[in-house]
Amino acid sequence: MSELRRKLESDLEIMEEMAAKMDSYLSSDSLFWNMGPGLPALTLGGFLMRQYRLDGLSDMLSERNESRFLATARKVNGLLSERVVAFEQKAHQEIDSRIRQWQEYLRDRDWEESQKELKAHQKRYPTAVEARAMLHALTETLRTPPYQLDEQVPQRIEALDKRQRGQWQDGEFVWTEGMEPAYPKDGFWWLYGRFRTDGS
């Protein structure tokens, strides 16, 4: 469980860093905002993915960290609701980028023929699937008033899900043990299992 707590504390620290720069980010032309060494790029999807995860696992946070999380989420969600047009535009730009990123990962598998290549592709999966998790967080937020989601987005994502399901074998959770309550299998099947290989 200590690994989970470390991961959640890291998520919280990254959220706070992102929150401090969010206003400037929304005003910029950048889609991926460099936050400095050792930190991921600031994107709306990166923030919302972590917010979703921490919200679903808030009972794992200390009282102090839960207060920090709630304050950070409140600050950013208030800002986003004041800047609806900027948020929608940047969120849809990121959706396009994440769909391409996820599509490329899925396409790469079609070109990998040896068992060694397939295993290397699967080893990258826990990191690569963050793009799919960000797509979920972005689309769920855009479905919430006052925002609006482009009606073509769910169809584009479903096409990729259909492609993956055809190659998928149900199995164990791919992220840190203990995160499962935030990601139930019926809604997040793509976090449970692996790509099939010949004979399996």
Q: Which residues constitute the domain of residue 112?
A: 2-195
Given this model, what pLDDT does residue 150 score? 97
Place of tokens 């620290």: 13
- Using CB atoms within 10 Å of the CB of residue 43, give its burial: 0 to 12 exposed, 13 to 18 middle, 19+ buried: buried
* pTM listed for this prediction: 0.94
Strand partners for 194: 169
Place of tokens 């208030």: 78
- Residue 100, domain member (yes or no): yes
- Residue 173, domain member (yes or no): yes
- Residue 82, domain member (yes or no): yes
Query: Is residue 176 within 8 Å of residue 102, measured between CB atoms?
Result: no
The span from the CA of 60 to the CA of 190, in Å, is 23
The span from the CA of 119 to the CA of 116, in Å, is 5
Q: Could you give the residue ranges of the DSSP H alpha helices within the chain? A: 2-27, 44-56, 63-82, 84-111, 115-123, 125-128, 130-142, 153-165
- Residue 200, domain member (yes or no): no
Q: Which of 94, 84, 92, 77 is nearest to 151 (CA)?
A: 92
- Number of structural domains found in the chain: 1
- Residue 69, domain member (yes or no): yes
Q: What is the CA radius of gyration of the chain?
A: 17
- Residue 130, domain member (yes or no): yes
Q: Could you read off the pLDDT tens digit of each residue along the chain, which spans 200 residues?
A: 589 999 999 999 999 999 999 999 999 999 999 999 999 999 999 999 999 999 999 999 999 999 999 999 999 999 999 999 999 999 999 999 999 999 999 988 766 555 677 788 889 999 999 999 999 999 999 999 999 999 999 999 999 999 999 989 999 999 999 999 999 999 999 999 998 875 44
What is the token pair recorded at 47? 């923030």
Query: Is residue 81 within 8 Å of residue 167, measured between CB atoms?
Result: no
Q: Which of 138, 143, 117, 136 is nearest to 195 (CA)?
A: 117
